[in-house]
Structure 1
Amino acid sequence: MTLTETLTHRHTTKAYDKSRTIPAPVFAQLLEALHYSPSSVNSQPWHFFVAETDASKARIAKATSGIFAFNAPRVTEASHVVVLCARTTLTPEYLETLANQEQADGRFATEEARNAGHKARSGFVNLHIQAGDIAEWTQKQTYIAQGFLLLSAAMLGVDATPMEGFDAAILSDELKLAEQGLAPAVIVSLGYHSDADFNAKLPKSRLPKQDIFTTL
């Protein structure tokens, strides 16, 4: 499919075929999409929890109770589920880890270049710390990773459901997120839709292009 065909074919899946599992080589590519997602100043302020067994998916589904019960089967019946979490802080130690990794990966020709890059990133992060919006900023970065995951899934013929409809407190407690300096951003279920997925049969609906694009 062309990119446009992929974009128009992609939809938020409402029901999954529990009998179908994403092949391991395909799912490995989806993890690569998350791994190589871009982030501001290469901060990579995220962590991804992957559920691929019934038991692990049941843990995630605990957060889809009460008013969010409509999302429970989209977690338990999917092939895989990914919980995308954002770091709540970016400590000096973490920023040092990033600089060391970039150096190990050959991004700096000299030690001076490494130190300059580290100083620039730390300065940008400190701007958000001073503004008091570091947790909000890292959540925004994590949504970039979600976009890469959704598009990559569509390109590979995998259906997906991004979900904000979950109890963040329950999920945080289940995965001990606060203790790890993390906060849940979004849950994405992945797999193949079933015949009960009414959304797969519906046409796309978007505002007219002239309402959302302005050429300067």
Structure 2
Amino acid sequence: MDTVSLAKRRYTTKAYDVSRRIPQATIDALLEQLRHSPSSVNSQPWHFVVADSAEGKARLAKSTQDRFAYNSPKILDASHVIVFCARTEMPEAHLQALLDQEAADGRFRDEQARAAQNQSRRHYVDLHRFDQKDVQHWMEKQTYLAFGTALLGAAAHGLDATPIEGFDSKVLDAELGLREQGFTSVVILSLGYRSEGDFNAGLNKSRLPAAKVFTFL
């Protein structure tokens, strides 16, 4: 797979073809890739809400009313929309669930390896929780790792996509009951196939030159 071509080809879609839907097999593959996203110490501090019905997308679009109204069509007209949510805290139950899943998946050669993984993960959680005092920001950064995985995955599947930060997270959190579940919405990803009227599709991609963004030691 030529990942450079994928990166150059993908762009932020501004308008979707409402008549086209992503095949179920394609969305299933993308979600499985998303589930396998990397995260610091395998913390996986995320949850993903997927909307593919008109009713579901309308619920998400409530968060773009008023000052973010320009983003409403990108949600309502897309085939699928994913809300990327980060935990609001790192509870003991989640840490234990991670350890149990790793054991079930055969990650540990012996009990010593299990204990070492548990200690290492808790060390980093406590580092951000107590020393740097940025544990939620740290968890949101892990969620953005998953977001990047989904963007490149969408391009690999021939899908068009729109990253959306212009929405009211308080409205969306309330609509989905996220905070009661220990999560908050961070970013939205619309997926589908671009409309022929999408002005952004015909514009050249623009990035700073390599000389400005790389330093070689």
1:43 aligns with 2:43: yes
Q: After superposition, what is the alpha-carbon deviation per residue over 1:177-202, rounded to whole angstroms, capped at 9, x for unaligned?
A: 11011011100000000011111100
Offset at residue 19 of structure 1 (A): 0.4
Match of 2:11 in 1: 11
Match of 1:159 in 2: 160
Query: C-alpha distance in 2, partners of 1:2/1:100?
Result: 36
Offset at residue 24 of structure 1 (A): 0.5
Query: C-alpha distance in 2, partners of 1:2/1:98?
Result: 33
Matched ranges for 1:135-154 at <5 A? 135-154=136-155
Q: TM-score, normalized by length of structure 1? A: 0.98
Query: C-alpha distance in 2, partners of 1:141/1:3?
Result: 22
SS of residue matched to 2:86: strand
Q: Runs in 1 of length 4+ with deviation above 3 angstroms?
A: none
Corresponding letter in the other structure for 1:182? F
> How many pairs does the alignment contain?
216
Query: C-alpha distance in 1, partners of 2:3/2:125?
Result: 34
Root-mean-square deviation (CA, aligned residues, Å) is 0.9
Match of 1:82 in 2: 82
Unmatched 5+ residue regions in structure 1? none
Query: C-alpha distance in 1, partners of 2:102/2:3?
Result: 32
Matched ranges for 1:30-179 at <5 A? 30-130=30-130, 131-179=132-180
**Which has the larger displacement, 78-87 or 1-10?**
1-10
Query: C-alpha distance in 1, partners of 2:61/2:3?
Result: 33
Offset at residue 2 of structure 1 (A): 2.4
Query: C-alpha distance in 2, partners of 1:107/1:4?
Result: 32
Q: TM-score, normalized by length of structure 2? A: 0.98
Match of 2:194 in 1: 193
Q: After superposition, what is the alpha-carbon deviation per residue over 1:22-58, rounded to whole angstroms, capped at 9, x for unaligned?
A: 0011101110121000000000000000000000000
Query: C-alpha distance in 1, partners of 2:93/2:38?
Result: 21
Unmatched 5+ residue regions in structure 2? none
Query: C-alpha distance in 1, partners of 2:3/2:139?
Result: 28
Instruction: Give identity over the alignment, percent.
Output: 53
SS of residue matched to 2:101: helix
SS of residue matched to 1:62: helix
Match of 2:210 in 1: 209
